[in-house]
Amino acid sequence: ELEAVIFDLDGVITDSAEYHYLAWKQLCDELEIPFDRQFNNNLKGVGRMASLELLLARGTRSYSPEEKASFAARKNEYYKKLIARITPDDLLPGIDALLSALHEAGIRTALASASRNASAILGYLGISDRFDVVTDPGALKKGKPDPEQFFLAAELLGVPYRNCIGIEDAQAGIDAINAAGMLSVGIGGYLEGAALRLSSTAELSLERLREAFFRR
């Protein structure tokens, strides 16, 4: 029986990737490291320090752990200023209706985002109270593609893994959902191993999720 749906944030609930791009761009300009929107796609679903490492590898010098920590903090300050512009209009299509349909059907909801800013973004979107559980990525030993965050979400919800669906836009996220023994739904692009692939969140509906869940 389908009992819970676990959502990724960036690329599923709202498109925060553009704000990550602008914040990293400002830092990279200051460090004279080349960076563009195309390379930004490689940072989708990748945690903050891992993203920084990918960017610094494109520069010419190496940095101490202290310098790296200060770069990550600087990027996050830029990012926090940018996300303050987010409003309920920035919810991706279909999400508001899906959250309502899940609530009416008594299906529980959780957020499994790699972002430490996820709670703030839910607040700006006006949907903080529509998730039963928001997992803290700071509490994890391993990020996606490890299933740890999806296990944690299901445990906090009190729902068996096999009764959960996970929705993700990044390959590492789909791999994490599959490794957790949950049904994976992939949004956009080609995502290997997704049980259900949709080109946009506008195609999400409770009916589609149920159909994919029972077909498994």
- Which residues in this chain contact ligand G16 in the complex, by CB under 6 A? 8-11, 20, 43-48, 51, 76, 113-117, 170
Binds 132: which of Mg ion, ligand G16, none (CB < 5-8 Å by kind): none
Interacting residues toward Mg ion by CB under 5 A: 8, 10-11, 45, 169-170
Tokens of 23: 């914040």
Annotated catalytic residue 10:
yes
Binds 175: which of ligand G16, Mg ion, none (CB < 5-8 Å by kind): none
SS (H, E, C) 86-113: CCHHHECCCHHHHHHHHHHCCCEEEECC
Measured distance CA(118)–CA(47) in Å, rounded: 12
> Is residue 70 annotated as involved in ligand binding?
no
**CA separation, residue 88 to residues 57, 78, 92, 122, 124 (Å):** 36, 21, 9, 9, 7
DSSP string, 67-81: HHHHHHHHHHHHHHH
Residue among 33 and 160 whose Cβ is closer to ligand G16:
33
Q: Residue 166 Cβ, how far from ligand G16 at the closest point, in Å?
A: 11
Binds 20: which of ligand G16, Mg ion, none (CB < 5-8 Å by kind): ligand G16
Q: Coil, strand, or helix at residue 34?
A: coil
Side chain identity at residue 126, one-letter code: G
Measured distance CA(131)–CA(14) in Å, rounded: 15
Binds 48: which of ligand G16, Mg ion, none (CB < 5-8 Å by kind): ligand G16
Residue among 59 and 189 whose Cβ is closer to Mg ion:
189
Q: Residue 7 Cβ, how far from ligand G16 at the closest point, in Å?
A: 9
Residue among 8 and 175 whose Cβ is closer to Mg ion:
8
Residue among 122 and 212 whose Cβ is closer to ligand G16:
122
Of the residues 8, 36, 90, 129, only one is catalytic, namely 8
Tokens of 121: 């973004």
Q: Where do we find the tokens 């903050």?
A: 48
> Is residue 48 annotated as involved in ligand binding?
yes
Annotated catalytic residue 129:
no
Number of H helices, E strands in the chain: 9, 6
Report, as residue numbers or ranges, the catalytic residues. 8, 10
